[in-house]
Amino acid sequence: FIVIRGVEYDTRDAGHFIVILPDGVHLKALTMRGMKVEKLVNLVHQVGGIVGPAHPFGTRSSSAMLFKTLKRNRALVKKFDFIEGFNACETETANDFSQILAKDFHKPTFGGSDSHDYEYVGMGYTLFSDDIYCCDDLISAVHKASESKDNSISCGGIVRGETLKSKHAHAFYSVYAFIAYNVSLGLLYSPLRKHRVKKALEHK
């Protein structure tokens, strides 16, 4: 089977984002959490990649549309290349809101299992009208779907239901502890991350 390489990046101000870079492109800056969402989007686009929010209406601590950044400036969604329209870890309501967001902004949708445990692998899927063999194929398909605003990319799956782990993830103490952890590490990594971003763009 074919494995398409991607990154789920923790932004400082808008939760988790899925990043797909062109074949052969590596960004060390993406190993360091805490970049602001606009900087992330601009960086990924500068190197030819695509980016979109994971589970945008899911867990409060990591879902883009529940952060003030996107609540205050919903137009930022226009800069995203796709939306994760289905996530097996989230509720049907959260996934419905994600699909509505994608339709409102004419964005293709991805489906994901978010399988932190092996038994959940394959519970989310994405269908493409084109054959996808590598990252470049995936990026091209997303751009094509965005430009044509058609149904060449679709998604779906099975919601896995609530688990003890997911209950803790939604608890207020987990939400705000994770946000504080993410912001703190983001600020700590900031100088080195900026250096790595600068080097990456110099060698683009």
pLDDT in tens, 4-47: 999 999 999 999 999 999 999 999 999 999 999 999 999 999 99
Burial string for 4-35 (b: 16+ CB within 10 Å, else e) reads eebeebbbbbbbbbbbbbeeeeebebbebbbb
CATH number at residue 187: 3.20.20
Residue 125 inside a domain? The answer is yes
Residue 117 inside a domain? The answer is yes
Task: Please work out, in degrees rounded to the nearest 5, the angle formed at the alpha carbon of residue 157 by the alpha carbons of 67 and 1.
Answer: 105
The total of structural domains in the chain comes to 1
Which tokens is 161 given?
A: 């239901």
Residue 111 inside a domain? The answer is yes
When pLDDT is cut at 50, 70 and 90, the band that residue 151 belongs to is: confident
Least confident span in 40-44, 63-67, 90-94, 163-167: 163-167
Residue 1 inside a domain? The answer is no
> Is 143 strand, coil or helix?
helix
The stretch 110-115 carries a mean pLDDT of: 93
Question: What is the residue-wise DSSP string for 66-100?
Answer: GSHHHHH-GGGGGG-S-EEEEETTS-HHHHHHHHH
Residue 2 inside a domain? The answer is no
DSSP state of 30: G
Residue 62 belongs to what domain range?
7-202
CA distance 8 to 29: 13
Mean pLDDT of the chain: 90
Residue 147 inside a domain? The answer is yes
When pLDDT is cut at 50, 70 and 90, the band that residue 166 belongs to is: low
Q: Are 114 and 120 in contact (CB under 8 A)?
A: yes
Residue 198 inside a domain? The answer is yes
